[in-house]
Structure 1
């Protein structure tokens, strides 16, 4: 007979464990839960010396395959396995390692990411631990459907630019079946899961936040270039850059704006970038470390994110924390945090004219910006509330 874990800490409060190969949003959430004394363990595929966790943080590291994967990625693609194959291998090994490490975990709930949860959830359920599939993105099939038209517009087949095969979708189905609940960061992904057949009563929404020691407003408004528009993220067709270039060019007929982009270039977007690369008002920059990106946000006039599909868009909450209005499409998950024409604007995805209208409005009304605070602490408190409520109700 397998005994279940002791789901309590001081005061009989339910504890939560989280698992992720890389330090994505779950690590920030874990540190906030730790501050509330509600974290049982954080299982990491990332080496501990790179995380710099707080004192007494319950870190369990399984980074062997992660170190091998990133070491091999430094080699030429001609002499190593493909990147998708490496990451699948990394995630599978991490999943099995966490499953073996659950023996003495006292968590009442365990969160894991899609693609690395099958063995973990199987072991957790055998011990009586409730499982939560924590989605950093929407269901893959939904992502592909939402971006297919944009790929077709530039003469590409979106199926040539994703790495998901039949085995991935089989694993996805098995992980969904093993999940007691699902946790998402936005109503966008919540609706996508509902369309995939997940009951709304099994979906929790817990938005992401920004690190306050990095992302905060400038000391004075005079430091800003009100006419500089910025974009941060990978240069892909999914991000809607074609729409952004069209909208900003329309705005330039009446306002001398510039457009600075920061991120990694993707081959699929080269034809789109080639059309604007020589324009003096466009600056195509590489990716920046987080501290430098925060400085960019503190000096810019606004952020744009016109994505065709975006589960959340962490740059939005980071920019808001720096006092930057955000102009986003209605397919961006972080639009949940946008109060129209108070801290940004929302426009229909693909509508360049509507996007241009909102950019122009913010140029003329910049000083109206106000945004309510949102922190990882508030996200952690929300997760604790949802967890406690779920544990008091029958299993879904």
Structure 2
């Protein structure tokens, strides 16, 4: 809870900070990477830095956290914090790095806002920062403990034991622990980070959903190549994996994390995905099929065409193993005749939504916003709609 004096100051200065937050976060990253170039080289996603997505996501999370502290002083926004904590744990973030962030963030605030940053203003926003940072550090400590590792020690070598070309731009890499030690379990819907050594000496990290059932020793990740921009930061890891990784190679992979996981109730479930977001759907379906689930399952998927739809065959096979499963697939440019109602963009209004449905969404943010809006209109409570975003979570930043 924010102290009363700080709450008064934050409430008075939030409009000014909010108006300048994009400039503040941009200056913050510039300062931090100048002082710690290794963070940009080996930790932060260079693509998200190049297009400003990370700065926008940070601005959105800070503004949202401060607003929630003022509007609901008796509650902590654990749902928002949990998403960030899982992502941080998958990167191996440690508590000392929060001090680095604080130092450069507050230097940026002082530079952008100038004389408006009095000692009282600085102290109030410092309290906001450490309330958020302290909650994240505690959450991340619990995640590391649950994984049975020291803080930040999430990396293991995994051997590639198979590679499948799902589509022209999607490859699945089958992984097995290189040390043959049994891997820790994961939950359907979770992801891992993969750390890749790039030609310029950087070790860039990306997250990928596990696209198999959470049983056995092996793990599968499915990677979509960002075509046509091999030199661009936003596609450098996917292109490197597609071009370089074959059977017998070794990858550095994190323990599994992610809070968008399939619940273990008997409630009806809706799995909505677009493009490579189908990796989460396939993992959840594989788990449901492997456990002989009797749940009512509705699958919604949107893709460009049949040839770009990864796991199209697996989707049909897995759904066929479930006694109460319905599949609805839309293609924007179908390559074979289809019912007109299933050509174009996914239309959630055409789907029967049983009472008590829990929904899991994975795909581009515009797709998930559309599906979420449709579900809310159909009476599905927001608390029952879960989503996964890879890269910076711009949902809050784009909320307006």
Q: TM-score w.r.t. structure 1 length?
A: 0.28
Q: Which has the higher strand share?
A: 2
